[in-house]
Amino acid sequence: MDKQPKGKKQDKIIPFPKLKERLMEKGLEALSNKKFSEALLLLKQAKELEEDNHEIELGIVICLIELGELEQAKENCLVMLREDVGDYFHVLQIYVTILIQLGQYDEIKTTIEAVFDEDAAPPEHLDNLSQLLELSKRMLGADGAEIEAEYTNEDVKEQLQNVLYNEGMIGNQIAVIQSLKELNIRKYLDLLVPFLAIPEKHPVVKTIIIQLLVTNQVDLEIEVEKFGETIKENPKKLVDPSMSPFTIQVLSILEEQLQSENPTLYETAKAIWLQHLFVLYPFTLEEEDPSIYAATLHLYSAELHGIDIENRTLEQIYGVSLFELKHTLDKLEKVERFSNIE
């Protein structure tokens, strides 16, 4: 395959006609179908082609909330508010909702009081903002410190029990797990660890629990079930899957074949690959052929962008067989279905 110097070739890259519109349309469609991981990927790519589009920005925030990435959703909302992207008070409402989920009542109080000081709130928003301000004040002590005495260990356990075992909302499950980051999670292992072995529970929620155990250096053998397979691992000994030799090999092959020819497609393939590993974690693919996965990611990403590519072309580029390609694509798509938080 002949290659021109990278700098020269990149200068000639021309975006596909109406690529931004196609990405935004597909992203919003995925969002409406509650395929939040897929929607986030598409909307982020659309954002790269057009800054300050309120539909894209708001779609990204909603995806982040549903995926439990509340801190990032908060930061995105702040940017929208500062740069006046979209309807200010609609974005403010979402921002305050995120702060409530994060338990950041002091910030809610400061934000709403600043809005009232400017006397800029439309009449239709006054009652709701006033109620939220009163809520934040009730949740704060006289000295401004958050009331923690009433929120006991038993309260946390009851919430975990209800959300993890009695509810089916994946976004809520992720949010409640992330709310434990500042707590001593060893008090809640009796609820977190058994969850990992239940086949019906969502693999992404399991991944986030495992990440929490790893962050806290929990030295305990745990049993994890995903996709019909079960393994036992010690969180203290687990490594970041994005840093494994196999992961890096696949990315290196994709970079060589795609980055200079089609940077957008490369970034899509890379994002899908890292998300794939995230869903599988702590299972790994170290025994697989990296060329096959690179070819499969190339094909899957091209289809996502509406780009036709011959299977035989991929066979020649990556040195893989059509059978291997189809087999790995089936496995990839199976895991990708679980990337969509519903």
In the predicted structure, residue 6 carries a pLDDT above the cut 80: no
What is the second-level CATH architecture of the domain 6-103? Answer: Alpha Horseshoe (1.25)
In the predicted structure, residue 107 carries a pLDDT above the cut 80: yes
**Chain segment 41-51, per-residue pLDDT in tens:** 889 888 887 77
Q: Where are the domains of the chain?
A: 6-103, 153-237, 241-337
Mean pLDDT value across residues 74-86 = 89
**Cα gap 100→114, rounded to integer Å:** 17
Read out DSSP for 57-78?
HHHHHHHHHHTT-HHHHHHHHH
The answer to whether the CB of 94 falls within 8 A of the CB of 75 is no
Mean pLDDT value across residues 111-137 = 79
Residue 204: helix, strand or coil by DSSP?
Answer: helix
Report long-range pairs for 73-78 (Cβ below 8 Å, ≥24 apart).
73/98, 74/98, 74/99, 74/102
The answer to whether the CB of 226 falls within 8 A of the CB of 280 is yes
Helices 322-337 and 311-318: crossing angle, nearest 10°?
A: 100
Question: Over the chain, what is the mean pLDDT?
Answer: 82
Q: pLDDT grade, residue 69 (50/70/90)?
A: confident
> For residue 232, what are the β-bridge partners?
223
| CATH no., domain 241-337 | 1.10.472.10
**Chain segment 273-332, per-residue pLDDT in tens:** 988 998 999 998 888 899 999 999 999 988 888 888 888 888 889 999 989 999 999 999
In the predicted structure, residue 14 carries a pLDDT above the cut 60: no
Residue carrying structure tokens 């004040």: 137
In the predicted structure, residue 342 carries a pLDDT above the cut 60: no
Mean pLDDT value across residues 140-145 = 49
